[in-house]
Amino acid sequence: MSLFENLAWSTEDVSKLFVEVRKCTGKWSTENKPVIDLRDRLLVLQRYRCAYCQYPITANLVGYRELDHILPKEGNSNHTDNKKNSDLEDDRYVTHGYPQFKYEPKNLALICKPCNSSKGTYDSLVSRATGKAPIRYPRESRFMCFHPHYHNYSAHIAIDENFFYKHLTERGRVLLKICGLMKVENIEKKFAPAARKVTIPGRDLYSVVRSLTMQLEERNFGLGHAIDALITNRNLSNIDARKIISQCSKCVTQRDLDLLKRACEALENPATGLNRSTLPNPLKKAFK
C-alpha cells in the first residue's frame, strides 16, 4: 500500500458525484447517500489512508475513519468576533464557521479519529480579518495549510523510515502542528500498536519477521516501531532485531528465506539465543 499523494478526481466524479453531494441540504448528516458514496470514493482515492497523517484506514467504519470539514462547518458561539476574525495562529481554533460549505466536496477529506480530534475547528483560511464569509469555495492560494484537494502531499511533508514527519513548506508545518504530528508520543500512540499486534506470542519468529517486513514495505508503521515490538514481545536485543529485519528485507530467493528461517529459529531459542557458530557463512556475516 503506497502513501497517499493527492485527490485525483475523475471527470465522472466531478460531473455526477460532486453534483449529488451539493444537492444535500439541512443539518449535516453522514447518512445521506451521496455523502456515503463520496466517503467510499475518498477511501479509494486516498489509498485507504488518512489524508493528513497517512495512517492506514483498515475498515470503512466509524472510529477507523471520519469525514473532516477542512473549513469548519460550524462556528464557536462562546467567543467574541475579535478572535473569530483574528489571523493569529493560536486564535484559529475560534471561527465563525462555514456552513455554506458543509456539503461542498472540496471541503471534505477522510481522516483518522486522532487527527480529527486534534485539528478540531481550526480555520485555515489565510485572511479572516474582514469577517466576511466567502460565497464561493476558496481557491488554493487562500489556504495556509496543506489541502488534499489542491496539493501534493510529498511536496509539503516528508515521512522517514521511522514514520517521523518533516515539513517541507509552511503549509506542511501548519498541518503537522494542528494534527499533533510534531510530538513523538502522538506518533508512537498511533503506529506502535500495529507493530506490536504482529509480534504477539503464538506465531513463530520467522512468520512474524516476514509479516513485519511486508508491512514495513507497505508503510503501515515505521522501522523503529517494528524493532521495539520485537524487543518487547519477542525479547530480542536491539541489534538482533535490526539485523533480522534487515536480513528479511534482502531476501530474494528461496535459499535466502531458508537461511532467514534458520536465523529466526536460533534467535527464538531462549536458552542460547543466536548461536552464531552453527549458522552458515552468509548468516555468520550478517549477524557477526
Output the CA angle 45-95-64, nearest 5 degrees.
35
Residue 159 reports pLDDT greater than 70: yes
| 38 touches 108 (CB < 8 A) | yes
The count of C-alpha atoms lying within 13 angstroms of the C-alpha of 161, restricted to the half-sphere facing its C-beta, is 10
Is residue 112 within 8 A of residue 55, CB to CB? The reply is yes
* Distance in angstroms (rounded) separating the CA atoms of residues 143 and 137: 11
C-alpha to C-alpha distances, 11 to 8, 14, 160, nearest whole angstrom:
10, 5, 34
Run of H or E residues at 240: helix 238-249
Q: 260 is written with which cell numbers?
A: 532467514
Residue 66 pairs with which residues in a beta bridge? 111
pLDDT tens, 93-145? 999 999 999 999 999 999 999 999 999 999 999 999 887 889 999 999 999 99
pLDDT of residue 130: 82
> CA 141 → CA 83, 137, 138, 147, 149, distances in Å?
23, 12, 8, 10, 12
- Write down the pLDDT at residue 143: 97
List, for residues 74-102, the tens digit of each pLDDT value: 988 777 778 899 999 999 999 999 999 99
Burial class for 190, CB neighbours closer than 10 Å (0-12, 13-18, 19+): buried
- Which residues, 6+ apart, have CB-to-CB distance to 149 below 8 Å? 7, 70, 106, 109
Name which of 142, 144, 94 is nearest 122 in CA terms.
Answer: 94
